[in-house]
Amino acid sequence: MNQTTETLINATINGKAISAPEYLSVIQALWHAGYPRIKSVGCLEGVCGTCRVLVRRQNSQNITTELGCQVLIEEGMQVNFLAFPTPAQQHYKLEDIRNSWEVQDNFHTIFPEAENCRHCGGCNTTCPKGINVERGVILAAKGRFREAGDLFTECVLCDLCQSACPENIAPNHVGIFSRRVTAHLHTRPSNLINRLERLRKGELKVVI
């Protein structure tokens, strides 16, 4: 009779040593090690953004941000689950934005910190979906909401970009706003909105 034995590898999750087969994700490895499994909670498909983790691999000084349901455990891997940050404080109702001419002013009222982007790239580095988060914020600040929203199509609202931002921008919520307002209002052409934005900043003068 042939017996198939699984080779277990060792990893550390939240400071506790576990052993599990290498084909398991971080969350599955926890269950394999005997940690309680709460049924009907979590997507395990990388779409809900709730299992954000810091990962340090063996013989590496680098720390990466990933989703615990998507990253497979490796020998010597160290993993720590992250608590969610303070919820974003942006509040708005789309029905209060009566037409697309008002979108830009409303955006800067809702997200005044968006113009303070330092271009540090921290949001891009932390995004487990590989979204060009920084560019999305820049596009939205310029009034190019359709383009900004398109960049955030794969966003799972894990809030890692928000945690990494030194200016307390909530880039994922900028992306959601861009998508929502585009669908809601079918915004005016971006080049026209850009011109209005330059007028708002005093970069253009109207000569009558």
Per-residue pLDDT of 27-76, as tens digits, reads 999 999 888 877 766 678 888 888 899 999 999 999 999 999 999 999 99
Residues of the chain with CATH 3.10.20.740: 8-81
The dotted CATH code for 8-81 is: 3.10.20.740
Share of the chain above pLDDT 90, in %: 61
- For the entire predicted model, the pTM comes to 0.75
Q: What mean pLDDT, rounded, does the chain reach?
A: 88
Three-class DSSP labels, the chain: CCCCCCCEEEEEECCEEEEEECCCEHHHHHHHCCCCCCCCCCCCCCCCCCCEEEEECCCCCCEEEEECCCCECCCCCEEEECCCCCCCCCCCCHHHCCCHHHHHHHHHHHCHHHHHCCCCCHHHHHCCCCCCHHHHHHHHHCCCHHHHHHHCCCCCCCCHHHHHCCCCCCHHHHHHHHHHHHHHHCCCCHHHHHHHHHHHHCCCCCCC
pLDDT digit string (tens) for 69-121? 999 999 999 999 988 766 667 889 988 888 888 898 999 999 999 999 999 99
